[in-house]
Amino acid sequence: MTYIMESSEESRRLQLQAQADDIRPLLRATGLVRGARVLDAGCGPGEISQTLAHLVGVEGRVTGIDMSEARLAEATRRCADLPQARFLRRDIRDTGLPDASFDYTWSQYVLEYLSDWDAALAEFVRVTRPGGRVVVSEIDGQGMNNWPLPKELEDGAQRFAQGLSAHGFDLFVGRKLFQGFRKVGLRDVRVHVVPQYVVAGTADERFMADWRTRFEALAPAVSPAFGSEVAYREFCQAYLRMLSDPDTLKYSVLVVTEGVRA
């Protein structure tokens, strides 16, 4: 299976994305405690695994899994001084990890890529101990909440979403996880909606670079939905102009769903 966001710039983009948010209060609010055995499913370059490892301390353990060798190597380097962190190449839908071996299973920005994310959720339940927590942080319409939005950009945004969806990517997975958690038998399912970004006016260079990298990486996958690569690139340019417009509001939320394994 290929990861549609793959590009040489992807690790850098993920790090900037992770650094932008202080995730610690959310991790604690969803039950992460010192000493916990944690799974970071789809850990990417390990930015959040590092935070998780600091929070659980040396008496805890963080296992980061990902299917990208390059990002695992980066995560291993990043956490070299944290003996409680280890990284393994695994598919999050079939980890091969023992039953009930984690107290807290975390996954962020990964289920959006999987058309069969329910298989990943079932696997999260299997590896989490009874009474342990499964917590998934996901996008919900990222990039779609902008105002004012010219008509051609509105149409383009729909094509963009369709192009992603043709590759199994779900821009609106965040809102679907509450039902998904209940279906796999998790109990006490709670949902937190937190800001992912709010840009009122001209976006800064970091934000623009994030979108440029994303658009570049997605060109092969999403251009067909626009009929041609030229049309896709015109849409990207218009979107970037909208991001730099001082009169436009852009915002996005993360939907964080938590549940307890019965």
Ligand X SMILES: C[S@@+](CC[C@H](N)C(=O)[O-])C[C@H]1O[C@@H](n2cnc3c(N)ncnc32)[C@H](O)[C@@H]1O
Residues that bind ligand X (CB under 6 A): 3, 14, 18, 42-44, 47-48, 66-68, 71, 91-93, 108-110, 113-114
Q: How far is the CB of 211 from ligand X (least distance, A)?
A: 14
Closer CB to ligand X, 107 or 248, in the complex: 107
Given the complex with ligand X, which of 74 and 103 has the nearer CB atom?
Answer: 74
Helix axes 151-165, 229-244, angle to 10 degrees: 120
Q: Tell me which residue of 102, 128, 144, 142 sits closest to 181, measured CA to CA.
A: 128
Residues contacting 76, CB < 8 A, separation 6+: 46, 87
Task: Find where tokens 């040489």 sit.
Answer: 8
Strand positions, DSSP E, the chain: 37-41, 61-66, 85-89, 102-108, 128-139, 146-147, 187-200, 249-260
Q: Which is nearer to ligand X, 39 or 114 (CB)?
A: 114
Output the smallest distance, CB 166 to ligand X, in A.
Answer: 17
Least distance to ligand X from the beta carbon of 61, Å?
18
Q: How far is the CB of 29 from ligand X (least distance, A)?
A: 17
Question: Which residue, 59 or 69, is less far from ligand X as judged by CB?
Answer: 69
Task: Tell me the β-bridge partners of 135.
Answer: 106, 258
What gap in Å lies between CA 206 and CA 224, rounded to an integer?
28
CA distance linking residue 247 with residue 172, whole number of Å = 26
- Our CB check for ligand X shows the closer of 115 and 228 to be 115
Helix/strand number for the chain, H first, E second: 9, 8
- Looking at the Cβ atoms of 42 and 132, the one nearer to ligand X is 42
Least distance CB 71 / ligand X (angstroms): 5
Residue nearest to ligand X (CB): 44
